[in-house]
Amino acid sequence: MKGEKTAIGIVIAIFAVMAILTISSIDTANAAFKANDTVTISINISQIAMVDINPSNLSYHGIGPGDVGDNNTEQIGNYSGIWVENIGSVNLTKMWFNTTAPSIMPFGTGSPNNYDAANMIVIYNDTTGNFSFVNRIEFPENDSMYITTTNTISAANTLDGYLFGRFRNASTEYFFEFERQTSGNCSNGTFWISDLAKTITSTGDTDLTDNTALTVYPHPTLDFGITEVQVGDGPHYCVAIPGNCKYIMFHRWNADAPGAGTSYCSNTNGGYYINSTTSPIFPGQVEQAFVKVYVPLGTPYGALKQGTLTVFVQE
């Protein structure tokens, strides 16, 4: 009996060892063998300047002549301005603008379609600073009304290069006069602008003859007369008058406008770029430019002709 039990134990032991070997064999067959190697990734980004501007539309409602349109009257999203995002690969150190303008004298026509909404845009990148027009276009008038001017203003004299007009903000207006040096050509001469603004309650400065006479210089390469003025106690503008005397441009924040970069307009509040070259907009960074609209007195009711604000950037 003892021999039989021993034999049975040996048999059981042999089966146990075989079971362990079998299980071990199965686990080894199903085991996941792992290995690894590495791949080096290299990316070289090209130098590309790209920009994304949002929102793509600004719409102001509920404002009248002499009013300022801001985020309270902007209807799409109560926007206070535009956001410029650097979606390219280079640092953007310069940003400037261009706005469309009316092609004819809109005031006195009674048609809102003769006015250009973008000609009323003012911009700054700091809410505590002076909001300024990008390239405000004003047209000469043929009657100086009650303003004392150096020269007689009439339709014939306007064609000859004696210009009179007004720089319109919102509820304020500044009268100006230009005297050409060469008959029928406005590429050089003398410019005067009133010291005090005309408002709804005040006639302002009515005598331009005792104001500072500013020399208008010929542009070195373009058929324009160029000078610089400070409007009231506000911002400085570069004034550009084409040789054909058709209009007067007051510009700031526009590096492409006639006179930008010349010595005649070197003190236009630091230049024509809205952001400092010491604080670039890095790739992926967003910069805000605050926007308002100054609606001049004498603007008729209705939808004005839509205008366009174009943003330029450069490294």
- pLDDT tens track for 185-204: 999 999 999 999 999 999 99
Round to whole Å and give the CA distance between 182 and 190.
11
Give yes or no for residue 276 having a pLDDT over 90. Answer: no
Q: Are residues 130 and 5 in the same domain?
A: no
- Is 286 a domain residue? yes
List the one residue out of 185, 161, 164 whose CA is nearest residue 176. Answer: 164
- What average pLDDT does the chain have? 90
Round to whole Å and give the CA distance between 221 and 207.
34
- Is 107 a domain residue? yes
Contact predicate 66/170, CB 8 Å: yes
Residue 261 has what pLDDT? 86
Q: Are residues 207 and 262 in the same domain?
A: yes
Q: What angle do CA 156, 160, 162 make, to 5 degrees?
A: 90
Q: Are residues 143 and 184 in the same domain?
A: yes
Residue 170 has what pLDDT? 96
Q: Tens digits of per-residue pLDDT, 17-73?
A: 455 545 555 555 566 789 999 999 999 999 999 999 999 999 999 999 999 999 999
Q: Are residues 129 and 28 in the same domain?
A: no
Number of domains in the chain: 2
21 class by beta-carbon count within 10 Å (0-12 exposed, 13-18 middle, 19+ buried):
exposed
- Is 193 a domain residue? yes
Contact predicate 70/63, CB 8 Å: no
- Is 171 a domain residue? yes
Contact predicate 194/213, CB 8 Å: no
The greatest distance separating any two alpha carbons of the chain, rounded to the nearest whole angstrom, comes to 146
Q: Tens digits of per-residue pLDDT, 205-225?
A: 999 999 999 999 999 999 999
Q: Are residues 25 and 55 in the same domain?
A: no
Round to whole Å and give the CA distance between 154 and 143.
6
Q: Are residues 149 and 14 in the same domain?
A: no
Give yes or no for residue 6 having a pLDDT over 60. Answer: no
Q: Are residues 10 and 61 in the same domain?
A: no
Both tokens assigned to 201? 């309650």
Q: Are residues 67 and 2 in the same domain?
A: no
Residue 141 has what pLDDT? 98
What's the domain range around 11? 1-32
Q: Are residues 119 and 223 in the same domain?
A: yes
- Is 39 a domain residue? no
- Is 201 a domain residue? yes
Question: For residue 123, what pLDDT band results from cuts at 50, 70 and 90?
Answer: very high
Q: Tens digits of per-residue pLDDT, 278-311?
A: 578 999 999 889 999 999 999 999 999 999 999 9
HEC assignment per residue over 45-101: CCCCCCEEEECCCCCECCCCCCCEECCCCECCCCCCEEEEEECCCCCECEEEEEECC
User: Which of 155-164, 255-264, 270-279 has the weakest average pLDDT?
Assistant: 270-279
Q: Are residues 13 and 155 in the same domain?
A: no
Q: Are residues 178 and 132 in the same domain?
A: yes
DSSP designation for 114: G
- Is 42 a domain residue? no
Q: Are residues 26 and 124 in the same domain?
A: no
Round to whole Å and give the CA distance between 264 and 143.
29
Query: Residues 225-231: what's their mean pLDDT?
Result: 95
Question: For residue 125, what pLDDT band results from cuts at 50, 70 and 90?
Answer: confident
Residue 220 has what pLDDT? 94
Residue 89 has what pLDDT? 97
- Is 19 a domain residue? yes
Contact predicate 98/254, CB 8 Å: yes
Element (H, E) at 7: helix 2-30
